Structure 1
């Protein structure tokens, strides 16, 4: 693996003094514009990154840190992933640094650079809904990368996802077999997981010789409030015989709509959540295990760091399970 470029390399490439490069990377704003442009071009060409941990790491040491970049800190699903990864990494003597892109590509790119500058030993990434730069444009050398929940294109990176399509298909097949037209309530199809769940919804209908009705599919419910409003609209049309809620926020939005309209429809959600067993009837869900996903991602990271995993990058699809609690029967 190529060595990390240093400030000396940048100074040589730009034809300036080392002290000038040091001032530039530390934010000095009194550098000649032409000189600053040469330094910026050299940094881009060489792929230089500041080593914020250099003062505390002696030769041969590692930072003993792993970065976890998730999409939404407020979503309990990602908190469970973090908990699973942390349990494995802490036992191995690593510190997990967690940050959220909030589904924004520019924020995601900035956080990736920040984690690399801190010389993390590896990074676990949930790619954001809004894409930023291509991962292929991230210069080597960089630490091992493991993508979870959603795939992204990067040679040599491992990927771990759930069987979103199969789990959704199983849920919709059950609802459609007994309750008539099934509505899809979910987020944007630009999100890999949501697209896969919608494809599972379509698979279940087409298996019965039916085509999906676009008026019964809402793919604009990013927040609980948006899901609530969409579910209200569905209930008021009277056309849906059941609802498949494609994530936990959509499920909660649907439950709030049921309470507001004083009417219930058969419901199955994707992803379990703590309050699912507190309502009556309890909410049936397609369950995946985010803690297991986090643990597996951490285990893969440790294998890569120990150079035990010399095989090509793996693409792991974790199974889901249909947990029936009664809400599918209303």
Structure 2
């Protein structure tokens, strides 16, 4: 078996000392920029990857470690997803390393590199919406990987998703049935495929009801609770929204805060459940899917690949459920 490129190979290719290469791969910042660039090019050309577990590698050896890269560790959605993955892999004797890309492509690529250096046996990744490096740009061999919550920007690969468009359409249909005609859409960037799909479902339901979609009622620049609160306040005050479709859990919480600040509310349905949804008055109606199950299926798919078998499907789409709790109705 090919031993793979070493730091000695990198040093020879870059015409620098082994010590300089060692300092570079270990993060030293006071290296001559010209030398650093030569080393970077040699590393990329040779496909060198720092091996933190070299002493443990033997024929047939595996790390029994898996990597999970999610979008935001602070979002309960992703903590639930991670829990679903961890329970599944723990039962198979694996340790899960979890990290957050914060939706940053560069950070995501760095995390992938670090996990590959750790010789993880497989990866589960929520691709950042900002794109980033293609898997085709990485030197082989690469471990099996599964994408979860959203597909890769370049497409392809094993993926576990929710039926976002259908769920959003069902929410808007219900709001229309309750008498709403100016339904606001509040969500994150539509560069995120899930947001684009939910916007599509929102507009298709309006069209089916004979209601023209009004771009002025859409705010897709919401990433935090605070931004969502400001967006909902503006849509109610300036655009006369008579209902709100909150396209993720952050947007739902922001809408509830806006209602509290105004001292009045309009019908609300959110996408993705959240812990306090049943504690509001009225309780918050949501479109939801089993997030923990999504994580578990992603883990099962990855373990199947690691075992050398073929998963049942390239793409798994989980159904969604509309949980009616009262907030979809107008205040009485």
Q: Could you tell me the TM-score, scaled by structure 2's length? A: 0.91
Counting matched residue pairs gives: 329
| Whole-angstrom distance in 2 between the partners of 1:199 and 1:99 | 30
Alignment correspondent of 1:54: 54
When the two chains are superposed, the root-mean-square deviation of aligned CA atoms in Å is: 2.4
Deviation per CA, 1:132-170, whole angstroms, max 9, x where unpaired?
223332222211111111111568721111111110011
| Whole-angstrom distance in 1 between the partners of 2:311 and 2:327 | 47
Per the alignment, in what secondary structure is the counterpart of residue 171 of structure 2? helix
Per-residue deviation, 1:78: 0.3
| Whole-angstrom distance in 2 between the partners of 1:210 and 1:2 | 63
| Whole-angstrom distance in 1 between the partners of 2:293 and 2:191 | 25
Per-residue deviation, 1:4: 4.2
Range moving further from structure 2, 57-66 or 68-77: 57-66
- The gaps in structure 1 that reach 5 residues or longer are none
| Whole-angstrom distance in 2 between the partners of 1:127 and 1:133 | 11
| Whole-angstrom distance in 1 between the partners of 2:43 and 2:263 | 61
Alignment correspondent of 2:269: 268
1:1-330 correspondence runs (5 A): 4-11=4-11, 13-14=13-14, 21-27=21-27, 36-153=36-153, 157-179=157-179, 180-237=181-238, 239-309=240-310, 314-330=314-330
Per-residue deviation, 1:14: 4.3
Cα distance 1:227–1:32, how it changes in 2: closer, same or farther (>3 A)? closer
Cα distance 1:264–1:113, how it changes in 2: closer, same or farther (>3 A)? same
Deviation per CA, 1:57-107, whole angstroms, max 9, x where unpaired?
444211111110001001000001100000011111111000001111111
- The gaps in structure 2 that reach 5 residues or longer are none
Per the alignment, in what secondary structure is the counterpart of residue 103 of structure 1? coil
Is 1:4–1:141's contact at 8 Å kept on the other side of the alignment?
A: no
Per-residue deviation, 1:328: 0.7
